[in-house]
Amino acid sequence: MLQLSVLKEQTDRVLAGLAKRNFKTAEADVAAVLDLDQRRRALQTQHDTAQAEANELARQIGGLMKSGDKAGAETLKARTSELKTQIKTHADELAALEKQQTELLYKIPNVPHESVPAGRSAEDNEVVREGGTKPDLGPGAQPHWELIKKYDIIDFDLGIKITGAGFPVYKGQGARLQRALINFFLDQARDAGYVEVQPPILVNEASGYGTGQLPDKEGQMYHDKADNLYLIPTSEVPITNLYRDEIIAADKLPVRNTGYTPCFRREAGSWGADVRGLNRLHQFDKVEIVQITQPEHSYAAHEQMVAHVERLLQQLELPYRVLRLCGGDMGFTSALTYDLEVWSAAQGRWLEVSSVSNFETFQANRLKCRYRGEGGKTQLLHTLNGSALALPRIVAALLENNQTPEGINLPSVLHSYCGFTQIK
């Protein structure tokens, strides 16, 4: 959530950034927030004035009672009663204005970093760099949805039988590969200084609002109405919310956490070739990395996180590229996002496997996640997160890019984790 002080003091910058996002109601929404703030401050002044008068009258009433002037005291008590009614009315109106203002602020996305390119869709994203070599598979190469049938390692039909479309069953070498990747990613994160946590996969409403999934993506999350809990779309949500309403000591920064969880997304409206096989699922596994740090260090931390994901892809021997997302393709909460994609040789296209984002103070303002700076003053922190990595499309690329007539060769870094070198 944008800070009110930023909206007031940097209105032009906010509007220019929201225009880069193609956020159509920016001017109206910002104007409405500022108008509500003016009304709230004027009402607060009235409330404070009435409260001060009531306090002064209470002091005077005490003196009149001591002097025996009961008539004078009764006159002041009548005025005090009027003031109490006014104060109660003001308090109710202030609460209503603050609620209205907060709900409106929840609708406004983050302001993009100055380096974010203008654009409306994925076609306008900027390719920062590429790595690795695309394999030449030759004729007869099969997409992963055919390979998983051939080697009987993932069963979509069983998933449909048990749950529904988008909930695959991993079997045999497929299940072992899945577990191997999770352990490999966690070990690499640990070696890079991230502390592993195992968070809940159901979160409450406050957690959803804290990291910005609510109200923005409410329809995309699985919701248990009986207990008002949400299945997590990413472990970013519970891990970052560990620090909700916390003031973190400066010597404990930066916070670095990693965690593995299953993730759940309704993916309402998704269809077409892009969702075949493992390309898009309702349940999938992911290892996440999260950092919380002082504002002056967050963009260096962001680059470090991108480099960490790149190293994973290099060790998996997958051709990849790094994209800087344009304003129109960025997530609601992000100030700057790098996507990392791997080349799917059999499909002949790039598959997104990671998003690494800096949210600046946008999440921290909702979370009330702060630290004490110089002089003991509390300041908002910057939060960052990244997929390191999401498994489905990594598996898809590993299967497709490494297929041979004899079987699917696995990168050497996974041999000890899997206990085998080839799927056959």
| Cα–Cα distance for residue pair 293/198, rounded to 1 Å | 21
Q: What is the pLDDT of residues 303-315, one digit of tens each?
A: 999 999 999 999 9
Average pLDDT rounded to a whole number, residues 75-80? 94
Q: CATH 3.30.930.10: which residues of the chain?
A: 122-423
pLDDT band at 66 (very low <50, low <70, confident <90, very high): confident
In this model, does residue 270 exceed pLDDT 90? no
CATH fourth-level superfamily of 122-423:
Bira Bifunctional Protein; Domain 2 (3.30.930.10)
Binding-site residue ranges: 234, 265-267, 288, 352-355, 385
- Secondary structure (H, E, C), the chain: CCCHHHHHHCHHHHHHHHHHCCCCCHHHHHHHHHHHHHHHHHHHHHHHHHHHHHHHHHHHHHHHHHHCCHHHHHHHHHHHHHHHHHHHHHHHHHHHHHHHHHHHHHHCCCCCCCCCCCCCCHHHCEEEEEECCCCCCCCCCCCHHHHHHHHCCEEHHHHHHHCCCCCCEECCHHHHHHHHHHHHHHHHHHHCCCEECCCCCEEEHHHHHHHCCCCCCHHHCCEECCCCEEECCCCHHHHHHCCCCCEECHHHCCEEEEEEEEEECCCCCCCCHHHCCCCCCCEEEEEEEEEEECHHHHHHHHHHHHHHHHHHHHHCCCCEEEEECCHHHCCCCCCEEEEEEEEECCCCEEEEEEEEEECCCHHHHHHCCEEECHHHCEEECEEEEEEEEEHHHHHHHHHHHCEECCEEECCHHHHHHHCCCEEC
What token pair was written down for 59? 């002091």
Q: Quick count: other Cβ atoms within 10 Å of Cβ 338?
A: 24
- Decide: pTM greater than 0.85: yes
Binding-site residue ranges for ATP: 265-267, 352-355
Give pLDDT, residue 271: 56
In this model, does residue 269 exceed pLDDT 70? no
Binding-site residue ranges for L-serine: 234, 265, 288, 385
pLDDT band at 325 (very low <50, low <70, confident <90, very high): very high
In this model, does residue 272 exceed pLDDT 90? no
Q: CATH 1.10.287.40: which residues of the chain?
A: 4-107
Give pLDDT, residue 373: 82
| Cα–Cα distance for residue pair 264/223, rounded to 1 Å | 10
Q: What is the pLDDT of residues 349-397, one digit of tens each?
A: 999 999 999 999 999 999 999 999 878 899 999 999 999 999 999 999 9
Residues 232 and 220 sit within 8 Å (Cβ to Cβ): no
pLDDT band at 273 (very low <50, low <70, confident <90, very high): low
Among the residue ranges 110-119, 130-139, 182-191, 266-275, the one predicted with the least confidence is 266-275
Sheet with 422-423: list strands edge to edge.
403-404, 407-409, 422-423
pLDDT band at 275 (very low <50, low <70, confident <90, very high): confident
Q: What is the mean pLDDT of the chain?
A: 96
Give pLDDT, residue 376: 85
The topology (CATH level 3) of 4-107 is Helix Hairpins (1.10.287)
What token pair was written down for 64? 């009149």
| CA distances in angstroms from 219 to 213, 266, 284, 286, listed in the order given | 10, 8, 18, 21
